[in-house]
Structures are given as structure tokens and as C-alpha cells.
Amino acid sequence: QKEVEQNSGPLSVPEGAIASLNCTYSDRGSQSFFWYRQYSGKSPELIMSIYSNGDKEDGRFTAQLNKASQYVSLLIRDSQPSDSATYLCAGANTGNQFYFGTGTSLTVIP
Amino acid sequence: KAGVTQTPRYLIKTRGQQVTLSCSPISGHRSVSWYQQTPGQGLQFLFEYFSETQRNKGNFPGRFSGRQFSNSRSEMNVSTLELGDSALYLCASSLSLAEAGELFFGEGSRLTVL
């Protein structure tokens, strides 16, 4: 079983809509979670981190963590074509290893 | 502030050869992690070094090895290359231990094994 599971998509949303990206994790002891964005041909870059249950907002991005359900999500409000990328969910497990999901490809349609 | 630098950016090898990839982290960063990225498997953790010590190793065969020098620069080596080793190898540095900090990735070294 993979440490972190994501729906690979592709996910398409119209410009201005809310994009919802989801991720589940297997290690109940994992404490920290991250969302990275990777543009085609580029390296991943961190966009959000979340450590506590609940929501964390940063501009148009909101990360949500539910430890009871072992579920992490990322909401992108007012989606822009420049948000089109692959979004990688990552977490650190109890073995202090940092694992990435396979990523969800998002396309924002103008 | 310079970012993470990986060399070489592209390389082509044949089966059975060995390869060494280099990573220079952001100045002041002590943790260096290596990942293999392929279309089918995504980003897979290879190993992490902190203060010249390997802290964690992913599920890769012993042909994959690495080290970190006192200046935090890191190298990874793959011996007896196989076709399946063709991938983008990404290095990431962080100020503290990887699981606690933000990872900054280099541009990667794209390895093709023929």
C-alpha cells in the first residue's frame, strides 16, 4: 500500500471555479502534510503545509486536514489558467520518511 | 540566494555502466534528499542525508548509493545501470530535517539508459 494516494485525474475546471484536490494517507502517525505544485518540465515547489486538523488558508489556497479520516485536501478558489499543473500531496510518516503521492493533473480552462 | 544546483542536467548511459549525480544545496541547508521521478511511479524517495549521515533510505536496490560531504553537497551513484533506471533524479534540500521542513528542489538530472 502506498503511503499517500491521490486521484491522478486529469481534473479540469473552468476559470474562476473552485478546484478540489484530494489525498489519503496510510500511516495514522503521520503528523505533517504538504502540497507541492509541479509545472510541466519543472521541479516541484511547495505551496502549502498543514500540521493540525482543520483548515489553513493562504490566498486562494486552502489546505484541509482530517486526521481521523486520514484525509488531506487542497482547494483552489478562483482558479486561473496559471494554476494548471500537477499537484503532489506529500507527508512525513512515523519513520521520518517523506512520501509523495503520484500527483493530480489539473487543467484550468479559460 | 542561489537555489539547489544539480549536475549534470542530462546524460545518456548504456546498460551496465555506472553514473554519479551531484547536488549542491542552498547555502545553509543541511538536509539533502534524493528522489526518482518516473511517469508511472511518481516521486519515489531514494535517501536523505543530514550532516553527512544517511538518515533514511527508500526501497531501492543497493545499486543506488549516496553520500554527503562536509559542505552539505551530495552525490548519488547508480551502478550497473538498467533500462528501468531511466528517470528524472531530483535533489531537494531543506534547512532542517526533511520531514519537518520545506523542500527546495533542483532542476533535476535526466538520465537515459540505452
Instruction: Give the DSSP letter string of B22-77.
Output: EEEPPTT--EEEEEEEETTTEEEEEEEEETTEEEEE-S--TTEEEEE-TTS-EEEE
- Distance between CA B36 and CA A42 in Å, rounded? 14
Residue A96's pLDDT is 66
Q: Determine whether the interchain pair A98/B41 forms a contact, defined as Cβ–Cβ distance below 8 Å.
A: no
Give the lowest-confidence range in A14-23, A87-96, B32-41, B58-67.
A87-96
Checking if the pLDDT of A93 tops 90, the result is no
Q: Hunting for cell 500537477 — which residue is that?
A: A86
User: What pLDDT does residue B9 have?
Assistant: 96
pLDDT grade for B104, boundaries at 50, 70 and 90: very high
**Residues of B in Cβ contact (< 8 Å) with A42:** 107
In sequence order, the β-bridge partners of residue A61 are A58, A76
pLDDT of B13 > 90? The answer is: yes
Task: Report whether pLDDT(B97) > 80.
Answer: no
Instruction: Decide if B42 and A102 are in contact by the 8 Å CB cutoff.
Output: yes
What gap in Å lies between CA A104 and CA A101, rounded to an integer?
A: 9
State whether B43 and A46 contact (CB < 8 Å): no
* Distances, alpha carbon B57 to alpha carbons A2, B33, B35, B65, in Å: 16, 10, 11, 9
pLDDT of residue B68: 97
Distance (Å) from the alpha carbon of B17 to chain A's nearest alpha carbon: 26
Please, are residues B81 and B89 in contact by the beta-carbon 8 Å criterion? no
Residues of B with CB under 8 A from a CB of A: 33, 35, 41-45, 48, 55-56, 58, 90, 97-100, 102-108
Q: Which residues have CB under 8 Å from B91's CB, separation 6+? A: B4, B6, B21, B23, B25, B32, B33, B34, B35, B74, B76, B105, B106, B108
Distance, CA of A28 to CA of A40 (rounded, Å)? 32
Weakest mean pLDDT among A86-90, A102-106, B99-103: B99-103
Phi, psi of B112, rounded to the nearest 5 degrees: -115, 125
What would the mean pLDDT of A32-54 be, rounded to a whole number? 93
pLDDT on residue B98? 66
Please name the residue of chain B whose CA is at the shortest distance from the CA of residue A47. Answer: B102
Q: CA A110 to CA B12: how far, in whole Å?
A: 39
Residue A23 has pLDDT above 90, yes or no: yes
Indicate if the pLDDT at residue B49 is higher than 70: yes
Interface of chain A toward chain B, CB-CB under 8 angstroms: 32, 34, 36, 42-46, 49, 88, 92, 95-103
* pLDDT of A95 over the 70 cut: no
CA dihedral for B64, B34, B106, A21, sign (positive or negative): positive
User: Mean pLDDT in chain B?
Assistant: 93
pLDDT recorded at residue B14? 98
Q: What pLDDT band is residue B39 in, cutting at 50, 70 and 90?
A: confident
What percent of chain B is modeled with pLDDT above 70? 96
End-to-end CA distance of chain B: 37
Q: Tell me what pLDDT residue A83 has.
A: 97
